[in-house]
Amino acid sequence: MINVVFPMAGRGQRFAQQGFHGPKPMIEVLGKPLIEHALDGYTLEGRYIFVVLREHLALGLGSLLARLRPGATIVPIDELTEGPVCTVLKAKSEIDTDDELLIADCDSVLVWPDRWVLDWFKRRGATGGVTTRITTDPACSFAALDEHGWVLETREKDPFTMFSTTGPYWWRRGRDFVEAAERMIAADRRANGEFYVNPAYNDHIAGGGRVLAYPLAEFWSLGTPEGVTAFVRERRGAGGLSPASGDGSASRRVASPART
């Protein structure tokens, strides 16, 4: 059994500033909710866990997730956390086990052979695994790799290497993530004031863990309006993130609860 956790308890301020209303995962892009685009990259049979703001459930997010992943576990929280690591740890009772753990982004689109990649990590003897792409954008997460693709060090928002970790983040045992994350929090190791998942691998590696990288061929970040615009242009050849105008490219409204 693998636990697939989506921390999605933010308020999407960058979208709100441009007039988009409601939960970011429900913003419609190319005719369907943003979270559905993210979930399209996951064919794994496992237990899906969504950590969400309770206030978003009243807006239809819970019913949407139930439609997209029947039987999923929804963990509601009442306020913003100090970063993605803290959000994932809200599901500690579900993931602090010997089962595999995959921490996925709710606003990223990737095309990859997910089950094959995770099996490849295990065949190579990895206890952790990341997916990567080439970029030096300082808004991203990064990892230094050796010549065989093993991770030597990770950093957040610091392009000290050209290899950016994109999410998802795989752990052979969920309890390994919990232990590494709690050590990182205890040491108050933050980036931009928050606790991120990627740097938790440093604690895991320091304790003898082995983290392997897999290069992605296709990846889009939909975490900002600009990212959504780039995705829409790539998929449709034109258009972008704009008010609802009948072209189906993107919408300033959220997915209607009635549709979920």
Q: How far is Cα 80 from Cα 170, in angstroms, rounded to an integer?
A: 24
pLDDT confidence of residue 236: 87
- CA triplet 29, 30, 35: central angle to 5 degrees? 40
Spatial contact of 204 and 174, defined as CB atoms under 8 Å apart: no
pLDDT confidence of residue 86: 99
Q: In this structure, which amino acid lies at residue 52?
A: V
Number of H helices, E strands in the chain: 10, 14
Domain residue ranges in the chain? 2-259
pLDDT confidence of residue 256: 36
Burial class for 206, CB neighbours closer than 10 Å (0-12, 13-18, 19+): exposed
Q: What is the pLDDT along the chain (260 residues), one digit of tens a residue?
A: 999 999 999 999 899 998 888 899 999 999 999 999 999 999 999 999 999 999 999 999 999 999 999 999 999 999 999 999 999 999 999 999 999 999 999 999 999 999 999 999 999 999 999 999 999 999 999 999 999 999 999 999 999 999 999 999 999 999 999 999 999 999 999 999 999 999 999 999 999 999 999 999 999 999 999 999 999 999 987 444 443 333 434 555 443 333 33
pLDDT confidence of residue 258: 31
Q: How far is Cα 18 from Cα 8, in angstroms, rounded to an integer?
A: 20
Q: How far is Cα 248 from Cα 252, in angstroms, rounded to an integer?
A: 11
pLDDT confidence of residue 23: 95
CB atoms inside a 10 Å sphere around CB 209: 20
CA contacts within 13 A on the Cβ side of 107: 23
pLDDT confidence of residue 75: 99
pLDDT confidence of residue 78: 98
Q: Does domain 2-259 have CATH number 3.40.50.880?
A: no
pLDDT confidence of residue 27: 96
Spatial contact of 241 and 250, defined as CB atoms under 8 Å apart: yes
